[in-house]
Amino acid sequence: MSIQRVKTPCVGLCSTVYGDLVCRGCKRFHHEVVNWNRYDDEEKRAVWRRLESLLVQVVQAKLEVFDAAKLRQQLELRQIRFVAEQSVYCWAYHLIARGARAINQLGAYGIALLPEFRDWDLPALRDAIDREFFLLSEAHYERYMAPRFLHEGMENRN
C-alpha cells in the first residue's frame, strides 16, 4: 500500500469534534484535521513525517522489527492499512493496533518485544503505545503550536 492509497492519517476516531486540540485517533492537531483537504502535498508530508517520528520513538522503545519483509508480507496478507514509505516501526504498530487480540506468536510477523515488555499482552501494549503516542503529540502541540496560536491571537487583538 503506498502513501498515495493512504490519503489521510485519519483512523475514523476523531475527537477534535469534541474540542480536543489533538485528535485521540490519528494524533493530528485540530487545525490539521480541519484544513487537511486544503493542504498541499508538502504540508501533508510534514504532518506525516511528524506523526511517523513520534510513533517510531514510542514503538522502538517497546519492540524490535527483526524481519521487515515478513512483517510487510503479513500486513499485505491480512490487508492491514499501512504506508510502505514509513518506518517498519509504524508498520509494526499498525499490525498490533489491528491484530492485538488475534496474534499468538509475534515472532511469526518478524517482531520481538524488548525484554521489559515480553510478559505484556498485546492489547495492553497497543494501548500503552497509543497513550504514549497521544501524550507525545499533545506535548509537541503544547511546545510548538500553542505558543504560535497564542502569539497570533495577541497580534490580532492589537
The number of folded domains in the chain is 1
Identify whether 10 is part of a domain: no
- What is the structure's pLDDT at 15? 82
* Helices assigned H by DSSP within 36-121: 41-60, 68-77, 88-99
The separation between CA 114 and the C-alpha centre of its own chain, rounded to angstroms, equals 20
Domain assignment of residue 21, yes or no: yes
Residue 3 is predicted with a pLDDT of 38
In a domain, residue 86? The reply is yes
Q: What pLDDT score does 17 carry?
A: 74
Tell me if 9 is assigned to some domain: no
pLDDT for residue 155: 56
Q: Is residue 83 assigned to a domain? A: yes
- Mean pLDDT, contiguous 10-residue spans, the chain (158 residues): 63 80 92 93 95 97 98 94 94 94 93 97 96 96 77 53
Residue 43: its pLDDT value, please?
95
- State which residues form the domain around 40: 16-148
| Global confidence as pTM | 0.87
**Helix extents (H) in the chain:** 30-35, 41-60, 68-77, 88-99, 122-140, 146-157
* Per-residue confidence (pLDDT) for residue 156, from 0 to 100: 54
Q: Is residue 106 part of a domain?
A: yes
pLDDT at position 61, please?
A: 98
Looking at residue 20, its pLDDT comes to 83
Residue 120 lies in a domain: yes
Measured between its terminal Cα atoms, the distance across the chain in Å is: 49
